[in-house]
């Protein structure tokens, strides 16, 4: 399996260094034969190549089996004509990574603020209310007059269908429950279609229980009783917001692993951003990028029928859980270790797996 590794900005290089060590250890331990190709994106690429991402990099990623993308300083990249392209969007759109899978669960050994839970947000990743990816060229945010802005939201039958299928297939491997999150009381046509298509796809999965919740009510429900949920499927922006909430409810945004998956490609990238407030201080939690690495191995193992990849993914997840249970973790999740030491605690367990 060939994986392109792009460390990213802010805390990205620190957390990616840990994830790379874990991938190398998993490769040795489980005979994965991983080939890691290191390159740059974001500020490092802007300095070196005059653009945050380049066509040559895209070709390299297309030719590989997977991508590990570090956290990106998305907010810094405002003007595409100056090479400031949002790398996360660039890969999601160019590789059609339509499903953003964001699990959130509590861990033994950590104070569970709301009791135990284990859910996954399945977020549509290629359209919706995202001005930078829902039109072929240009943006879908327009300055009509200096005082008036119009932003477009795009919802298509095809994207609803495929994200719904991802959610139901995932639910079949879990507790067989899908919750559709929407705002169909206001966005009657777009989210009305989203619900209809999700329910239509759901009929192919009669074992799966389906319900739907309006997104604002969901914010209250998920704080009140997160254990009620299994797979939550939703459109792009609602999924972005909801998944930051569920990651934080699980203990910290630093536990937010995430996979961006399409038909032929996948990208592991932590759910959070580049966290400039804690960058370069050896305090960021590497678990999010480690979990994203495990999800990438799992995705590949499922496609290729590679049991050793599935075992390696499970071993990384178990090593993270065991390190947290032993209190060998970063401060955001109740420990006292730095990024490197917390990563080492996971690596030691992976080595012994």
Task: List interacting residues with ligand ATP (CB under 6 A).
Answer: 11, 15, 74, 244, 252-254, 272-275, 277-278, 284-285, 288, 332
284 versus 321: smaller Cβ distance to ligand ATP: 284
- Contact present, 122 and 162 (Cβ < 8 Å): no
169 versus 282: smaller Cβ distance to ligand ATP: 282
State whether residue 143 is helix, strand or coil: strand
45 versus 86: smaller Cβ distance to ligand ATP: 86
**Minimum distance, C-beta of residue 238 to ligand ATP, in the bound complex (Å):** 14
**Minimum distance, C-beta of residue 169 to ligand ATP, in the bound complex (Å):** 26
**Minimum distance, C-beta of residue 339 to ligand ATP, in the bound complex (Å):** 8
244 versus 311: smaller Cβ distance to ligand ATP: 244
Q: What is the CA radius of gyration of the chain?
A: 20
**Minimum distance, C-beta of residue 88 to ligand ATP, in the bound complex (Å):** 8
**Which DSSP string do the residues of 169-235 spell out, in sequence order?**
HHHHTTTSEEEEEE-TTTSTTHHHHHHHHHHHHHTT-TTSEEEEEEHHHHHHHHHH-GGG-SEEEE-
Helix axes 12-30, 287-304, angle to 10 degrees: 40
128 versus 306: smaller Cβ distance to ligand ATP: 128
**Minimum distance, C-beta of residue 276 to ligand ATP, in the bound complex (Å):** 7
53 versus 284: smaller Cβ distance to ligand ATP: 284
Reading the block at residue 215, the tokens are 């997104």
**Minimum distance, C-beta of residue 113 to ligand ATP, in the bound complex (Å):** 16
Task: Write the CA distances from 178 to 26, 145, 230, 263, integer angstroms.
Answer: 32, 43, 6, 22
Buried b (16+ CB within 10 A) or exposed e, 114-123: eeebebbbbb
Instruction: Tell me which residue has its CB nearest to ligand ATP.
Output: 273
77 versus 300: smaller Cβ distance to ligand ATP: 77
- Contact present, 34 and 3 (Cβ < 8 Å): yes
- Return the C-alpha torsion angle 102, 107, 112, 113, nearest 10: -20
Strands in 245-304 per DSSP E: 259-261, 266-268
Give the separation between CA 181 and CA 326, rounded to whole angstroms: 36
State whether residue 262 is helix, strand or coil: coil
**Minimum distance, C-beta of residue 174 to ligand ATP, in the bound complex (Å):** 25
**Minimum distance, C-beta of residue 130 to ligand ATP, in the bound complex (Å):** 12
202 versus 286: smaller Cβ distance to ligand ATP: 286
């Amino acid at each position: 399996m060939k994986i392109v590794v792009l460390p990213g900005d802010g805390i990205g290089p620190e957390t990616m260094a840990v994830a790379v060590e874990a991938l190398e250890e998993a490769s040795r331990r489980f005979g994965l034969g991983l080939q890691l190709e290191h390159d740059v994106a974001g500020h490092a690429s802007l300095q070196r190549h005059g653009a945050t991402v380049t066509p040559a990099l895209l070709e390299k990623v297309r030719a590989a089996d997977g991508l590990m993308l570090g956290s990106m300083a998305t907010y810094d990249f405002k003007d595409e004509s100056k090479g400031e392209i949002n790398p996360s969007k660039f890969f999601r759109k160019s590789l059609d990574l339509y499903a953003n899978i964001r699990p959130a669960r509590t861990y033994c050994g950590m104070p569970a603020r709301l009791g135990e839970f284990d859910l996954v947000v399945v977020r549509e990743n290629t359209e919706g209310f995202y001005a930078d990816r829902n039109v072929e060229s240009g943006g879908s945010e327009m300055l009509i007059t200096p005082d008036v802005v119009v932003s477009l939201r795009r919802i298509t039958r095809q994207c609803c269908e495929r994200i719904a299928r991802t959610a139901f297939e995932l639910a079949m491997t879990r507790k067989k429950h899908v919750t559709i999150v929407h705002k169909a009381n206001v966005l009657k046509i777009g989210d009305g279609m989203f619900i209809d298509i999700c329910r239509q796809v759901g009929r192919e999965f009669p074992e799966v229980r389906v319900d739907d919740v309006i997104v604002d009510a969901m914010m209250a429900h998920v704080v009140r009783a997160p254990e009620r949920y299994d797979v939550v499927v939703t459109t792009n922006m609602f999924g972005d917001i909801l998944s930051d909430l569920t990651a934080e409810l699980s203990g910290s945004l630093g536990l937010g692993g995430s996979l961006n998956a399409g038909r032929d490609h996948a990208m592991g990238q932590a759910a959070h951003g580049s966290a400039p407030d804690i960058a370069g201080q050896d305090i960021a939690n590497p678990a999010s990028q480690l979990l994203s690495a495990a999800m990438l191995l799992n995705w590949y193992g499922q496609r290729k029928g590679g049991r050793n990849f599935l075992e390696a993914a499970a071993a990384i997840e178990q090593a993270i859980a065991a390190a947290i249970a032993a209190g060998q973790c970063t401060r955001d999740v109740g420990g006292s270790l730095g990024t490197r030491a917390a990563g080492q605690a996971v690596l030691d367990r992976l080595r012994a797996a």
